[in-house]
Structure 1
Amino acid sequence: MFTRRTFARLAGAASLAPAASRAQSGKPLSRIAFGSCAKQTLPQPIWEPILAYRPDLFIFAGDNVYGDFHSPDAADLKGAYAEAAHIAGYAKLRETVPHLAVWDDHDYGVNDGGAEFAHKMVAKELFLDFWKVPANDIRRTRGGIYDSRVVGPPGQRVQVILLDVRWFRSPLRITDQRGAPGKQRYLPDPDPAKTMLGSEQWAWLAGELRKPAELRLIVSSTQVLAEGHGWERWGNFPLERQKLVDTIRTSGAKGVVLLSGDRHIGALYREVPDGLYPLYEATSSGLNMVYWAAKEPGPNRLGALFAAANFGVVEIDWPARTLLLALRDESGDTRRAVDISFDALGIL
């Protein structure tokens, strides 16, 4: 059964009223929406279909504003948050729908940024304040903004794990052929000293995956499974990508599904690692930032890229033991989808 305290922590101060009423109902999560890449200076009509979808939870998966900055005053990032706060649909969702958030590079403060970013502490404080994170939240005292929540009664628990792939991430290996297909910006780096998450976050993730839950949504702002392109992705550090798979396998966690953003395109992916059930990934990007001309190989992609404004959904049918991963467009219509049985994800 949900408790008022559990859902208040999930939703944050911005949506205590709907969170409280939902907590009293004791219903498990069944409709989760997520999205990324919302530039505050451009129209954002997509909030209307998102609100019409009536999600139980919305996950802001990064680039929630575009506020790159290069000085300690972080004026551009402060301005981006101020402008986003007055976008009607954005504000209404934050006020009425329980939500969680993680950053990507443009709300971290620098394009494709990682551990080397000099002003990341300022960006972190601005992020936590915008998302109304309580003063006693552990994210205010440790490095990065990674976080996790388990919501729902036994037998219907959903764990949402928000990874921070910026704060600790090692420098990327620059391409030797900028713009070439598959090598657009970066090349895979086999250096075992390179990291995506940092030792502290890796240890935390292993512990989180051992907590009781039926379904687990791992949110990584950058793509995990996608192959065939040379932009940011976990494949830039192939040993770290393998470590993520190994960590899931070793933990014994069942029901893991991956959610990502960043790319200004939508897509669904499936991969079957050795000794593990199939991993599925839904990439939803962007809410209003779109790479219309996107073309790339997709050896593990399910269907074609969706190069238009979109948001992702995870629909859970607990009695039928199935979930739907889907991408919806600005009209709220489903444009890409895959049905997955609990059995296929090892969920008992």
Structure 2
Amino acid sequence: MKVAFTSCMSVQVYPQQPVWDWIAAAQPDRLLLLGDSVYLDVEAPKPPRQMSNNEFAQHLHHRWSSQLAQKQFRALLAQLGPGRTHAIWDDHDFLWDNACGAAIRAQPPQSSKIPLSNAFFKAFRAALDAPDGFPVAYTDPVFWNPQEPAPATPSLQLEADLWLHLSDGRSWRTETTFVAQDKRQLLGAAQRNKFGKAIAANPQALHLFANGSTSKDWKNYPNDWEWLKAQAAQQRTLLLSGDVHHNDVDAFHTGGLPLHEVTSSGAAVRDAVVVGKKEQNHGMLEISADTVEIRLFHKNVEQSELRRELSRQSWLPVA
């Protein structure tokens, strides 16, 4: 099983996105998009906070449909076929930089933008299987349910002993400023309970846990960070993260099995989205019965210093 993964791309910044050609050439079995698949608050006609709901819906439609129309991306989706591309979101495709759903739901009129964003992201997810199925007009009724719930957070069985958990790190997230540590939530209790049950039900499996935020952010949310480490202590868990516009690997002591993390971010942006050096990054997991090989690429050149091979038995690096 080969799983390609990356995050952070913008057609407005880079109309040409060769990262998809490079991934296609490796012939992965799955593609995982780890958030910031569009940048709603970058090179926008005006800040999304200042948009009316009608303007915001037009903007959402343009951004999501533009990424789906990007030729290299579209070709990769066709190569993979239905059911092989999976996506989560992060702040820039949820609403704007550092947007936290728990806080914004208490801020009318901004809160009325959340159902719109939910609906457009769901339509994007569905169109990953059939890009021509994305609604052609922002006025389509599918986008305008004022009670549209947050996107689903499924646990997907990729193989008999391999699970992918697609989490939502934005809809229920609290801010950290002026919020006591024990009150902060990244996933929220309901999501933690749901994933905890799915992970516990498959104790011998390898669990890929997808979330846009890196461990550095998770540590600002002690309830969620300690929960994730507790899961990882008992079950082989690999945190797949994005957001930071570079590639990285890390590992953490849990008192049991280690928690491993791999980050790939910056598929088609610059260091600071529109300024700085060009980032064209992606990652690849090659999963066999015995090992998990982690490979990270910058401009399609492997970053050998970040390469890791983990034993699925010991869940430690292979010597």
Write the deviation string for residues 6-35 of structure 1: whole angstroms up to 9, x where unpaired.
Answer: xxxxxxxxxxxxxxxxxxxxxxxx110000
Amino acid at match of 1:337: R
Q: Is the 8 A contact 1:209 1:248 kept in 2?
A: no
Name the CA distance, whole Å, in 2 between partners of 1:130 and 1:308. 24
1:94 aligns with 2:77: yes
1:236 aligns with 2:226: no
- CA RMSD after TM alignment: 2.5
> How high is the TM-score relative to the length of structure 2?
0.78
> Quick one: structure 1 residues 145 and 325, their matched pair in 2 at CA, closer, same or farther if it must change by over 3 Å?
same
> How high is the TM-score relative to the length of structure 1?
0.72
State the shift of 1:332 in Å: 4.9
SS in 1 for 2:307: strand
1:289 aligns with 2:274: no
Name the CA distance, whole Å, in 2 between partners of 1:260 and 1:55. 19
Report which of the two has the higher share of helix. 2
SS in 2 for 1:112: coil
Write the deviation string for residues 118-164 of structure 1: whole angstroms up to 9, x where unpaired.
Answer: 222111100111121799xxxx97544322101223xxx21000110
Name the CA distance, whole Å, in 2 between partners of 1:246 and 1:255. 11
Q: For 1:167, which of 168, 171, 192 is the aligned residue?
A: 171
Q: For 1:309, which of 254, 257, 280 is the aligned residue?
A: 280
Name the CA distance, whole Å, in 2 between partners of 1:143 and 1:127. 9
Amino acid at match of 2:34: A
1:121 aligns with 2:125: no
Amino acid at match of 1:163: S
SS in 2 for 1:84: helix
Q: Is the 8 A contact 2:100 2:175 kept in 1?
A: yes
State the shift of 1:288 in Å: 1.4
Q: Is the 8 A contact 1:278 1:344 kept in 2?
A: no
SS in 2 for 1:66: coil
Q: Is the 8 A contact 2:184 2:222 kept in 1?
A: no
* Runs of 4+ in structure 1 over 4 Å off: none
SS in 2 for 1:91: helix
Name the CA distance, whole Å, in 1 between partners of 2:262 and 2:281. 12
Q: Is the 8 A contact 1:44 1:288 kept in 2?
A: yes
1:54 aligns with 2:17: no
Segment of structure 1 superposing worse, 282-291 or 337-346: 337-346
> Quick one: structure 1 residues 190 and 315, their matched pair in 2 at CA, closer, same or farther if it must change by over 3 Å?
farther
1:181 corresponding residue in structure 2: none
SS in 2 for 1:209: helix
Q: For 2:296, which of 327, 331, 334 is the aligned residue?
A: 327
Name the CA distance, whole Å, in 2 between partners of 1:146 and 1:332. 33
> Quick one: structure 1 residues 244 and 190, their matched pair in 2 at CA, closer, same or farther if it must change by over 3 Å?
farther
Paired positions, count:
271
Name the CA distance, whole Å, in 1 between partners of 2:281 and 2:302. 10
1:276 corresponding residue in structure 2: 256
Write the deviation string for residues 198-245 of structure 1: whole angstroms up to 9, x where unpaired.
Answer: 221111111111232521100110002x4xxxxxx1122234311221
> Quick one: structure 1 residues 159 and 308, their matched pair in 2 at CA, closer, same or farther if it must change by over 3 Å?
same
Q: Is the 8 A contact 1:266 1:307 kept in 2?
A: no
1:109 corresponding residue in structure 2: 95
1:65 corresponding residue in structure 2: 38
Name the CA distance, whole Å, in 1 between partners of 2:197 and 2:270. 36
State the shift of 1:314 in Å: 0.8
Q: Is the 8 A contact 2:232 2:259 kept in 1?
A: no
Q: Is the 8 A contact 2:119 2:148 kept in 1?
A: no
- Percent identity, aligned pairs only? 23
SS in 1 for 2:299: coil
2:11 corresponding residue in structure 1: 40
Q: Is the 8 A contact 1:164 1:197 kept in 2?
A: yes
State the shift of 1:280 in Å: 1.1
Q: For 1:218, which of 186, 199, 209 is the aligned residue?
A: 209
Name the CA distance, whole Å, in 1 between partners of 2:5 and 2:186. 22
1:202 corresponding residue in structure 2: 192
Q: Is the 8 A contact 1:190 1:239 kept in 2?
A: no
SS in 2 for 1:236: coil
Name the CA distance, whole Å, in 2 between partners of 1:166 and 1:290. 23
Write the deviation string for residues 28-86 of structure 1: whole angstroms up to 9, x where unpaired.
Answer: xx110000001111131111111001100000110011123333232222211121122
State the shift of 1:191 in Å: 2.3
SS in 1 for 2:165: strand
Q: Is the 8 A contact 2:280 2:298 kept in 1?
A: yes
What are the ranges of 5 or more consecutive residues in structure 2 without an aligned counterpart? 42-47, 105-110, 130-141
